[in-house]
Amino acid sequence: MARDHVLEELWKTSPQTTRVFDPAQIVHLPLAARRYFLHALAPGARLAHTAHLRMHGTIRLGNEWQVFRAEQVLSWDRGFVWKARVGGALPILGSDRWVDGEGSMKWRLLGIVPVMTAEGPDISRSAAGRLQLESMWLPAVLLDPYVEWMAGDDDTHTELVVHAHGEESHIDLEIDDRGRPLHGVIGRWGNPEGGEFHDAAFGSIVEDEGTFDGITVPTKIRAGWFFGTDRFERPGGEFFRAVIDHVDFR
C-alpha cells in the first residue's frame, strides 16, 4: 500500500508515555470496571494514549464480504487513520480518518478511480464516535477524568460516559468474571439505512484477545450497526470482522 503521511505523522509525533499503571488508581471504580482494568493492564504497564495496529479480515460491501489488510494509528488526543487494501485482483485502496476534528473517507479502485468520497460535519461526528468505541485498544485512556464509570444492573455490566472529541458518548460494556470485555455498544451518529444521519446502535463483539507490552486488548472482533437486534446479522448491520496481528503502544 502507498504511504499515508498523516498516519505516519500521528505515530511519530505521539510522545512516549512515562506513566504506568498502579492498581491503587482504580479502587474507587465499580466492580466491573476494576475487573476490566486488572485484566487489561498489568501492574507497571505503560498508560499509552497511542496505538499502532496491523490487522486483516473481511469487510462487507453491499451483500458481499471482501478480504482486507490494514494498518491503523489511534491517537486519543488527535484522532485516527485506518488505511486498507480491500479485495483481490482489483483492489480498492484508501482510508477512513478523523484527525484534529475533521473526518473523511476516501477510497479508489486500484488507488486511481474514485469509488467513495465523504466528508463534512456528519462524517466527522460519526468518526469521533468510532474513535471513542475503539478506546478498547487504548484501555489506559479510560482512566482519564473525562470518562465516568457507572455501575450497571449487575457485576458484568457497566456504562461509560465519555466527554471527549467534542461529543458526549455513552458506551455499554459487558465484562465477564475475569475482566474480559465481551462486547461494547455506543449510540453512534450515522445513516446505516442510507437516509438522514441520526444516533444508531453500533457495537462490537470481542471473540479473542492478546497481550502486548503488558496491555491486553481485543485481537478478534465483529462490528456493525443495529447491534442487539436481528438486523445486525443482515446487510447494513454487521460489516466488519478483523483479526489484530500486532499492536505497538506509545
C-alpha cell read off for 20: 504506568
pLDDT-derived band at 227, boundaries 50, 70, 90: very high
pTM here is 0.95
Q: pLDDT digits over 149-170, tens only?
A: 998 777 888 999 999 999 899 9
Say what the pLDDT of residue 66 is: 97
Please give the torsion angle defined by the CA atoms of residues 85, 216, 9 and 84, in that order, rounded to the nearest 10 degrees. Answer: 10
Query: Do residues 91 and 85 touch, judged by C-beta distance below 8 A?
Result: yes
Instruction: State the Cα–Cα distance between residues 35 and 37, nearest whole angstrom.
Output: 6
Neighbours of 154 (CB within 10 A): 10
Q: pLDDT digits over 94-112, tens only?
A: 999 999 999 999 999 999 9
Q: Is the pLDDT of residue 2 over 80?
A: no
Residue 232 exposed, middle or buried by CB count within 10 Å (0-12, 13-18, 19+): buried
Alpha carbon 217 to chain centroid, angstroms: 11
Question: Which residues is 3 bridged to in the sheet?
Answer: none
Say what the pLDDT of residue 155 is: 81
User: Going from the N-terminus, what domains does the chain have, and what CATH number goes with each?
Assistant: 52-249 (2.50.20)
Bridge-based pairing state of the strands 181-190 and 167-175? antiparallel
Q: 3-state SS of the chain: helix, strand, coil percent to 5?
A: 20, 50, 30
